[in-house]
Amino acid sequence: MITTDIEFCVEALTNGELVAFPTETVFGLGARADSALAVDKIFELKQRPKDHPLILHCSNIDIALAISPYIPDYAKSLAENFWPGPMTLIFKRALGDAVNDEAVGGHDTVAVRVPSHKIARALLEPCGFFVAAPSANRFGRVSPTKAEHVVQEFGDDLIVLDGEQSQVGLESTIISCVEDTPSILRFGAITNSDVLRVTNLESKPLTQRIAAPGTLENHYAPSIPLYLVENEAEIDGLTDIEIENASLIGGSESKRPFKLVKMVSTYEQYAHELYDFFRESEKIGCKAIVAIKPIAEGIGSAINDRLVKASNSKEEAK
């Protein structure tokens, strides 16, 4: 059920029900993070393995940073500069803290985010608890960027708070703050150079492995095969596909007779449209998707990351 009634959604969350809600990155599937019962419903509905930790959301930066006693200075700079916004920070947990074990999948780290989306903030603000929320899609599928995408994933019984199409369109940048230097675990709208600019530190790979299943090789996958090309000319080399039954995203013009074409003039627009385009291609019966890869610059790196992961599922999708 899609609703615009924020009060109703706050009440539902408070009562331990699930509420999907818009954020500037993608739609989240929320539950109060302090209730194991509520959080369990997320794992059940998404069919997500229980040890995959969830991001905890709130509207207040100070409250977000109070979640852990282990906040390095560079994390404070990141928070000051990029919250509210499309960034998730991961901190070490203190023994016996107030964070719910179920919500963080039993891990000794915790991920938090303060979204900037107006409706998300209006929902989170009156909640006296963190809202645990993964992207509101079935496990391994494409994240939703519109309320109707969430309904496509889970049907009409779920409460979905309406909001316009997610502006960024890709999941938040995840930055681990558990070591002496920041480490970007998932690319997003906040880039490597943003991190360097405000912290004077280069993002480095972690010395220890921490669980971040979003880095799985075949996440974010549409149900039809995705082919990546560097430029328009390379399309002619795709001998497996019939252009008439395929869709194309990226680039600035195409004379080829694709069934669906989405031209983009900026990488921001590419990111904004990508997941909706995947779904639209599925819906109109395309047999394949072709994407022209952006250069790995700014949000182009995040787009490439999602494209590569989505195209890795090709064999399974067939």
Query: Residue 68: which of Mg ion, ligand TXA, none does it interact with, CB under 5 to 8 A by kind?
Result: none
Name residue 2's beta-bridge partners: 160
For residue 111, state whether it binds ligand TXA (rule: CB under 6 A): yes
Is residue 250 within 8 A of residue 113, CB to CB? The reply is no
Q: Give the nearer residue to ligand TXA in terms of CB position, either 33 or 133.
A: 133
Q: Give the nearer residue to ligand TXA in terms of CB position, either 133 or 289.
A: 133
Q: Give the nearer residue to ligand TXA in terms of CB position, either 146 or 246.
A: 146
For residue 213, state whether it binds ligand TXA (rule: CB under 6 A): yes
Of all residues in this chain, which one has the CB nearest to ligand TXA in the complex?
A: 214
For residue 135, state whether it binds Mg ion (rule: CB under 5 A): yes
Q: What's the min distance (Å) between Cβ of 311 and ligand TXA?
A: 19
Q: Give the nearer residue to ligand TXA in terms of CB position, either 116 or 311.
A: 116
For residue 107, state whether it binds ligand TXA (rule: CB under 6 A): yes
As a whole number of angstroms, the distance between CA 175 and CA 58 comes to 17
For residue 166, state whether it binds Mg ion (rule: CB under 5 A): no
For residue 169, state whether it binds ligand TXA (rule: CB under 6 A): no
Among 12, 20, 26, 159, binds ligand TXA (CB under 6 A): 26
For residue 52, state whether it binds ligand TXA (rule: CB under 6 A): yes
Residue 287 vs residues 114, 217, 264: alpha-carbon distances, Å: 38, 22, 22
If we measure between CA atoms, which residue out of 277, 284, 195, 201 comes closest to residue 244?
A: 284
For residue 94, state whether it binds ligand TXA (rule: CB under 6 A): no
For residue 174, state whether it binds ligand TXA (rule: CB under 6 A): yes
Query: Residue 174: which of ligand TXA, Mg ion, none does it interact with, CB under 5 to 8 A by kind?
Result: ligand TXA
Is residue 318 within 8 A of residue 287, CB to CB? The reply is no
For residue 88, state whether it binds Mg ion (rule: CB under 5 A): no
Query: Residue 55: which of ligand TXA, Mg ion, none does it interact with, CB under 5 to 8 A by kind?
Result: ligand TXA
Q: End-to-end CA distance of the chain, in Å?
A: 32
Among 68, 135, 191, 199, binds ligand TXA (CB under 6 A): 135
Among 9, 12, 42, 90, binds ligand TXA (CB under 6 A): 90
Q: What's the min distance (Å) between Cβ of 180 and ligand TXA?
A: 18
Binding site for ligand TXA (CB under 6 A): 23, 25-26, 28, 52-55, 88, 90, 104, 107, 109-111, 113, 133-135, 171-172, 174, 210-214
